[in-house]
Amino acid sequence: MDESDTSAILAEDSESGDSSKVCCCFKVTQNKRPPPCSCPFSVTVEPVLFLSMFSIALQMPLNTQYLWERLSEDVGYNGTKGGGCNATVHDPLLKEVETLTAHWNLYINLGGFLVGLIMVTLLGSWSDRGGRRMVLIIPSLGLAVQAAVYLIVMYLKLPVFWFLIGRICSGLSGDFNSILAGCFAYVADTSGMGSRTFRVAILEACLGLSGMFASILGGLWRRAQGYINPFWLVLATNLAAAFYTYLFVPETVTPDPGAKLLSTRHHRAIYQLYESDTPQGRRTKLWFYIFCFFLVVSVHLGCSDLYVLYELSAPLCWGPELIGYGSAAKNLAYLTSLMGLRAMQCCLEDSWVAVVGLTSNIVGLIVISIADTTPLMFTGYGLCFLFMASTPVLRSKLSKLVDPSEQGALFASVACVEGLCSLVSSGVFNSLYPATLHFMKGFPFLFGAVILLIPAGIIGGLGCQEKRESRTNGEGSAIS
């Protein structure tokens, strides 16, 4: 065969391979409905995740503060919550308000989680056959309905029970976890094996940056104008995410008209995902990586719950300004982790990138656990500058272990694990903090650092095993 013929065949193969992917200009393959508009930038679902996370981060602290004020009115408490550096006031009404607020927060979050747990597994697995776009649009509209219910409660001063109704409405649409599952599955559809980890890291960075902007804006806006106007922005943001998906996000899965949403096959698909051991060894790796993901995310969320409380009380005694700077420093680590991950990928395999990220997190938490001055606390935040480099690697590792037709089921299960992490970490770390105050105030952070040694060891061990397997496969192919 002539060299020119070979070149022509290779070129033809390259073109056919590229046609099955969605590029930055949003080329759409046959049988896949294109969006009404096209986006001139090389982005796909990143704005959807940014907007959705912005709405969640904006409303969560406002929910708690609104519950505090409404429940204070109900029980007749008109005092203010003192900071940790002030003398403790033993007020039974204050204790009652704190207890009621914590309980209602638990009821609302637990109700949304349990309903969402059922729906996210249905929607995520269904998206492998029915398409990704609807899994992004439906939860965005559900979150908009939740914001509308909250606005009605605030305008009419309805009982706080209606907050639970709004949360359940969001859960019935899949909640934010469905958006997470859909976005990460979409990126898995549109990225190659080599670029997947970095694309996932970009989505993780969107979570951190949107959270940082929402935290800063929400506090200032609530102080200036109250609760209602920020919740109008929450409603608008969720509607914007749904419209953006409809207008600009192309479909990556050829929709199957026979795919039914309400079917037990979707839950069976997730079960089979973790039960199947084809190719050999896949099941063990899946369970190990999902266990590592559970531990890492639980430590992240558990420590995040305690940072503000730790900074408010003695010996740090931070005010609102320093707490804002601390929150900005913590969220800035999402961006530095993204840049650090990109740089480390030039000389390290993904497994060792994750180990370096965990090491950064461990060292930073150890310093924070003994921080008794402002410079030392910010030093701890600075040492955590790579703390988010591990979760993109874990998501990418999981994604590469399953078939393209299983990405939705995989990330639906990962989203459920992430929701479970939130519940478990909140219970463990919030219970550990008061129980260990008498001997070491920063013990929960030290506990988190020790827990992170487990996933670091597992990921390092699996990385060595994968390197041996690739070397053996390489030698075998060379012999053949």
pLDDT digits (tens, 9 = 90+) for 62-103: 887 788 888 888 888 776 544 445 544 456 777 787 778 877
448 confidence band (pLDDT: 50, 70, 90): very high
42 confidence band (pLDDT: 50, 70, 90): low
CB 111 within 8 A of CB 171: yes
Check residue 195 and give its pLDDT: 86
Indicate the length of the chain as a whole number.
Answer: 480
Pick the CATH number of 279-480 from 2.40.160.20, 1.20.1530.20, 1.20.1250.20, 1.10.275.10: 1.20.1250.20
Its pTM stands at: 0.78
For the chain, give the percent of residues with pLDDT over 70.
86
Pick the CATH number of 42-80+92-248 from 1.20.1250.20, 2.70.70.10, 3.30.380.10, 3.40.50.720: 1.20.1250.20
Task: Please say if the pLDDT value at position 287 is more than 90.
Answer: yes
- Mean of the per-residue pLDDT values for the chain? 82
426 confidence band (pLDDT: 50, 70, 90): confident
Check residue 162 and give its pLDDT: 93
Lowest-pLDDT range, 143-152, 304-313, 360-369, 399-408?
A: 304-313
Task: Please say if the pLDDT value at position 9 is more than 80.
Answer: no
Regarding predicted confidence, which is higher, 342 or 473? 342
Show me where the domains of the chain are located: 42-80+92-248, 279-480
The domains spanning 42-80+92-248 and 279-480 adopt the same CATH topology: yes
Q: Quote the distance between the C-alpha of residue 372 and its chain's center.
A: 30
37 confidence band (pLDDT: 50, 70, 90): low
Lowest-pLDDT range, 3-12, 243-252, 437-446, 448-457?
A: 3-12
Burial, 329: exposed, middle or buried (Cβ in 10 Å; 0-12, 13-18, 19+)? middle
